[in-house]
Amino acid sequence: MIITDTAIILHGRKYSDTSKIIHAYTKNHGKISVIAKGVRSAKNTMGSSIEALRCSSITWYRYPNKDLHLLKSAEIAIPLHNLTSDYDRLMSAMGIIEILSGTQEPEEPNPSIFESAIQALMALNEFRCQEAPYAITLLFLMQLAAIMGFAIHVQSCPITGELIQRKEGETVFSLDKGGVLSDGIINPSGETILLNSSAVGILQEMEHAQFETCSLHIPLQEQITLLNLFQRYFSYHSHKSYRWNTYPPGITTP
């Protein structure tokens, strides 16, 4: 079967002297792996369209009951050339790619996740959040959680329904209930995290933010706090251990 679909190229690795194995997340077929034969030869014209962080239209031969297919052709679908224009933007985009690769299972399509990832990469390409590009990566994580069925509640308590007011000191975030708890909840059950007022306020801003108009400025320390929160939150609800290696620009480990 010959299939054509739009794909975000996740990463690739060398295979033989002239070929590569490419991993991509496609709009209608989910995460796939294809072998690109001869792509490393001087005469091949597909090379740039199957590099990581490209959004390309790819055509491949799909083999039933196999997890490695054969790439037929590829060409750029949406230019994202600015993603590599500076280090902070590149690392933020690579964070999105790593998250997408790690959270999605092979050949399980979700067009909404694909669209969210494309909008996030386009926002970075168009220089949104110039002072803190990693805010786009964190916003993608928040939207991804909602699409995957465990949205984060930060405006009201998921137990009592009370509005969450920003206050001095720390606030309890429940991994089990998926949100910030009101002060009236004493000794909450399940796993919890303490968040400071700044982190809670940023999460509340993020809930209403859109990629195309995003102007969030998230200080580095809060970027680290929120990344740790999302790693634990996704691990809790996906029953897998997530620890992404692409950290906010400016640090080597969170």
Residue that finishes a domain, picked among 78, 98, 128: 78
Question: Looking at the structure, do residues 93 and 51 belong to the same domain, yes or no?
Answer: no
Alpha carbon of 130 to those of 8, 89, 106, 207: distances in Å?
A: 23, 8, 33, 20
Each residue of 99-158: pLDDT tens digit? 999 999 999 999 999 999 999 999 999 999 988 999 999 999 999 999 999 999 999 999
Domain contains 253: no
Query: Do residues 50 and 39 make contact, with C-beta atoms less than 8 angstroms apart?
Result: yes
82 pLDDT band, cuts 50/70/90, is very high
Residues of the domain holding 37: 2-78
Query: Does pTM surpass 0.85?
Result: yes
Question: Looking at the structure, do residues 99 and 181 belong to the same domain, yes or no?
Answer: yes
Token duo for residue 96: 């999105």
Inform me whether the pLDDT recorded for 42 exceeds 70.
Answer: no
Residue that finishes a domain, picked among 34, 52, 78: 78
User: What is the average per-residue pLDDT within 164-183?
Assistant: 90
Residues 20, 133: Cα–Cα separation, whole Å:
31
Domain contains 155: yes
